[in-house]
Structure 1
Amino acid sequence: MSGSRDIHEYLGEFEDIPGTRVYTAARARRGYHLNQFAMSLMKAENRARWLADEAAYLNEWPMTQDQKGAVLARDYNLLLDLGGNIYFLAKVFSTDGLSFLQAVSTMTGMSVEEYSAMMNAGGRSPEGVRSIKEQR
């Protein structure tokens, strides 16, 4: 990156990668309380409270309504868009009894078996759309 290039323009390019959310400082700020909620589930007493009444537990956190709705819907792709960090969100799906593989496969529209086979074969192909705005 050249010294004369605008940092916001540079960081904006991260939003043009199909199927990828780069965890930037802006995304971290946006998801701070969401990620703190997720990390709270590391404690057994918090997991018990969460499992007893998810909505009530979420209301203790100063998250946006969109974030709370996405947590309740277990919409992990939307949670990433709203500032969630996948490693923090793992506490949510672990509390639900899901493995990382099970949860991440739901984000791709693939079955666990399909996702596992794709990853064992080397992951997603680098062929295809490489830019959202240019559709190339």
Structure 2
Amino acid sequence: MGKDLQNYKDAFEDIPGTRVFTTERARQGYWLNQFCMTLMKPENRERWLADEKAYLAESKMSDEQQEALLARDYNRLLDLGGNIYYLAKVFSTDGLSFVQAVSTMTGMNVDDYKAMMDAGGRSPDGVRSIKEGN
């Protein structure tokens, strides 16, 4: 059972362009996601926007998570356990729509990303496995 479970979990890391929010990522990102939830309160959004570093100093996030947050590196934040629905609190505080923020994660501009999504999203054809390259 142990090896089967590990193979099952390893398969999640082999999906190109996708980060599956596993229990490991949930544990890793707990304090990051808790921080994001603080931005639900207007007074906390004001404090964050006034001095991000000072506001972060109160958090229990790792230094790596804090650096990625300050850089608004959403892909890195997902790698570090961030959940996109929690991270939405950050980019909405920055005045970005979901489409604007997510387009930055794809390397596409907003118009191209929106057109792709309006057309049904990415094609299922192409690389389906990172390790196999197919």
Aligning the two structures, in what range does the TM-score lie when normalised by the shorter sequence?
A: over 0.9
Q: 4+ residue stretches of structure 1 with deviation over 2 A?
A: 3-6
The one-letter amino acid of 1:101's match is V
Identity of aligned residues (%): 71
Q: How high is the TM-score relative to the length of structure 2?
A: 0.97
Match of 2:86 among 88, 95, 104: 88
Instruction: Tell me the residue number matched to 1:52.
Output: 50
Q: Quick one: which amino acid aligns to residue 58 of structure 2?
A: E
Q: CA deviation at 1:9?
A: 2.0
Select which of 73, 76, 84 maps to 1:75: 73
Q: Distance in 1 between matches of 2:2 and 2:60?
A: 38
User: Using the alignment, how far apart are the partners of 2:39 and 2:88 within structure 1?
Assistant: 10
Deviations 1:82-119 (A, max 9, x none): 00000000000000000000000000011110000000
In structure 2, give the amino acid aligned to 1:21. R
Q: Which residues of 2 match residues 105-120 of structure 1 at below 5 A?
A: 105-120=103-118
1:40 aligned residue: 38
Correspondence for 1:22 = 20
Shift in Å at residue 12 of structure 1? Answer: 1.2
What is the letter of the counterpart of residue 65 of structure 1? D
Q: How many residues align?
A: 134
**What are structure 1's unaligned runs of at least 5 residues?**
none
2-structure distance, mates of 1:85, 1:4: 27
Please provide the CA RMSD for this pair: 1.1
**1:7, distance to aligned residue in structure 2 (A):** 1.3
Q: Secondary structure at the match of 1:16?
A: coil
